[in-house]
A = this chain, B = another copy of it.
Amino acid sequence: MTPAAAVLTPRADDFPRWYQDVVAKAQLAENGPVRGTMVIRPYGYAIWELLQAELDRRIKALGAHNAYFPLFIPESYLRREAEHVEGFSPELAVVTHGGGKELEEPVVVRPTSETIVNASFARWIQSHRDLPMLINQWANVVRWELRPRLFLRTTEFLWQEGHTAHATDAEAHELARRVLEEVYLDTMRSVMAIPVLTGRKTDGERFAGATTTWTCEGMMGDGKALQMATSHELGQNFARPFDITFSDETGASAFVWQTSWGASTRLVGGLIMAHGDDRGLRLPPRLAPVQVVVLVARADPAVLAEARRLASSLGAAGLRTQVDDRTDVSFGRRVVDWEIKGAPVRLEIGPRDLAEGQAVLVRRDAEGKEPVSLDAAVGTVTRMLDDIHASLLAAADRRRRHDTHEVDTIADAVEASAGGFAVLPALAVDGGGERDLNAAGVSVRCLQRRDGSLPERGDPVTELVAVVARAY
């Protein structure tokens, strides 16, 4: 039994408990005093900042610009789109008093910003020259949660929400799909090392107010699904009530076509559950706040000096590096700490290593240690970080394939969902099939073509499959 096993509940015993343990012991987050709220601690927030930077770069590469819209929305705005208000009403937080007085019209704390963004779009968009308009916002939103879980389902969460307007339905469709693939899917594979499935939501699982919802679905360590990001085509559902029109080249007036899309701090929860093991987090290197920890084994001035020199070389090579010189804490205890925190690479150095001109190199995603000469350490670690990303992605991909079962009936799908995903003909979940699944605690995660690619609009349902699973 390694020391870490004493610290964390093993995943096989109780996965939710293991998750809670990791979030607490890795100092990622803790509950706020108001039920459902979350304090994101510095280590957890550093992961989120890295993820934000990756998403933001891709969002800007699409041509979108960041902006900021108010937290408070008049209640009347939400009522303008019938499905939207019905979807969000049960989750709203309502401000009734401001500045010491009761408000004439209560305001809601934004659960999402379609309504308030579109009130601006109606002013900003006049002509076809103003289109496409691509806006993104980084913000906090509030949806009252009765069964909160840190990162996965919190009353307040942080996210980005994109909002776009286009001259044609086809352009909106194309943008929604580009976001799905170039922003979300690419970040998840290339940065988070999570091999998500992409597909279309069923009508029952669509965003309230969308005509089509596209989704990225990841498989977690317990075989359950996590919806990791969604991209919606809104048709003209908001353009009509908010009166967002433009004059086309001929001078005729028309309603715009829109999309919206978001990804949130929930992704940090996905990262934990997709890669974590019984010793704690395993962070993909591109999101690790500390990519390499240089662990000083003993309080020896020469060792400490060499550790600092080494860390400085690693830092100069662009690696996020930290020296752990807390020699008043036992070496074993510190190893356990860094394993819980999921630092991808550890370089351990003591007096004997120094005498031999080497350090001990340990990678978090595999067993075993190897010596590395101090001169070669920077190059070796740099290459190893890329390899760790690839290994984590490959391992997650193997597990997903292994735990995905092709079935034909709803009953078999429910059974297979006990430990993974089930794939069955989409026809089986049409109508009553989806209801029966839901009654058994299983949901349709997405519809795909048989080859796993995205369905096109004209595809007959007989050509599609449904991926179903228990989900967070």
Check A70 against B156 for contact (C-beta < 8 Å): yes
> Per-residue 0/1 for A26-51: is the Cβ within 8 Å of any B Cβ (1 yes, 0 no)?
00001011100111111001101100
CB distance from A3 to the nearest CB of B (A): 21
Check A95 against B98 for contact (C-beta < 8 Å): no
Task: Answer yes or no: A419 CB below 8 A from chain B CBs.
Answer: no
Which segment, of A4-12, A60-68, A310-318, A403-411, faces chain B?
A: A60-68
Check B93 against A33 for contact (C-beta < 8 Å): no
CB distance from A193 to the nearest CB of B (A): 24
Check B90 against A66 for contact (C-beta < 8 Å): no
Task: Answer yes or no: A146 CB below 8 A from chain B CBs.
Answer: yes
Interface residues of A in 126-164 (CB under 8 A from B): 135, 139-140, 142, 144-146, 155-156, 158
Check B93 against A89 for contact (C-beta < 8 Å): no
> Per-residue 0/1 for A67-100: is the Cβ within 8 Å of any B Cβ (1 yes, 0 no)?
1111111100100000000000111111111111
In the bound assembly, the distance between CA atoms of A395 and B419 in angstroms comes to 70
> Per-residue 0/1 for A338-363: is the Cβ within 8 Å of any B Cβ (1 yes, 0 no)?
00000000000000000000000000
Given A37-B70, A72-B34, residue A89 in contact with residue B97 (CB < 8 A): no
Task: Answer yes or no: A119 CB below 8 A from chain B CBs.
Answer: yes
In the bound assembly, the distance between CA atoms of A41 and B117 in angstroms comes to 11
Check A140 against B37 for contact (C-beta < 8 Å): no
Interface residues of A in 166-214 (CB under 8 A from B): none
Given A90-B100, A93-B95, residue A70 in contact with residue B38 (CB < 8 A): yes
Chain B residues with CB under 8 A of A32: 69-70, 72, 116
CB distance from A134 to the nearest CB of B (A): 10
Chain A residues bordering chain B, tally (CB within 8 A):
54
Check B116 against A70 for contact (C-beta < 8 Å): no
Task: Answer yes or no: A380 CB below 8 A from chain B CBs.
Answer: no
CB distance from A91 to the nearest CB of B (A): 6
Check B33 against A73 for contact (C-beta < 8 Å): yes
Chain B residues with CB under 8 A of A73: 33-34
> Per-residue 0/1 for A295-339: is the Cβ within 8 Å of any B Cβ (1 yes, 0 no)?
000000000000000000000000000000000000000000000
Task: Answer yes or no: A120 CB below 8 A from chain B CBs.
Answer: yes
Chain B residues with CB under 8 A of A38: 68, 70
Task: Answer yes or no: A107 CB below 8 A from chain B CBs.
Answer: yes
Minimal Cβ-Cβ distance residue in B for A326: B129
Minimal Cβ-Cβ distance residue in B for A56: B49
Chain B residues with CB under 8 A of A95: 93-96, 109
CB distance from A34 to the nearest CB of B (A): 4
Check A140 against B142 for contact (C-beta < 8 Å): no
Which of B41, B65, B94 sits near A67, CB closer than 8 Å?
B41
Chain B residues with CB under 8 A of A158: 68
Chain B residues with CB under 8 A of A30: 120, 123
Residue of A39, A90, A119 with highest tally of chain B CB at under 10 A: A39
In the bound assembly, the distance between CA atoms of A23 and B135 in angstroms comes to 19
Chain B residues with CB under 8 A of A74: 33-34
Check A119 against B33 for contact (C-beta < 8 Å): yes
Check B97 against A94 for contact (C-beta < 8 Å): yes
Given A34-B73, A93-B98, residue A39 in contact with residue B67 (CB < 8 A): yes
| Known contacts A33-B70, A39-B120, A100-B144; 16 further A-B pairs (Cβ under 8 A) | A30-B120, A34-B70, A34-B72, A40-B67, A45-B67, A45-B68, A72-B155, A91-B99, A92-B100, A93-B97, A93-B99, A94-B95, A95-B109, A99-B144, A99-B145, A139-B140
Query: Can you offer 6 A-B residue contacts whose CB atoms are under 8 A?
Result: A39-B116, A40-B68, A45-B68, A90-B100, A94-B97, A99-B144
Q: What 6 A-B pairs are tightest by C-beta distance, nearest first?
A: A99-B144, A37-B70, A42-B65, A32-B70, A40-B68, A94-B97
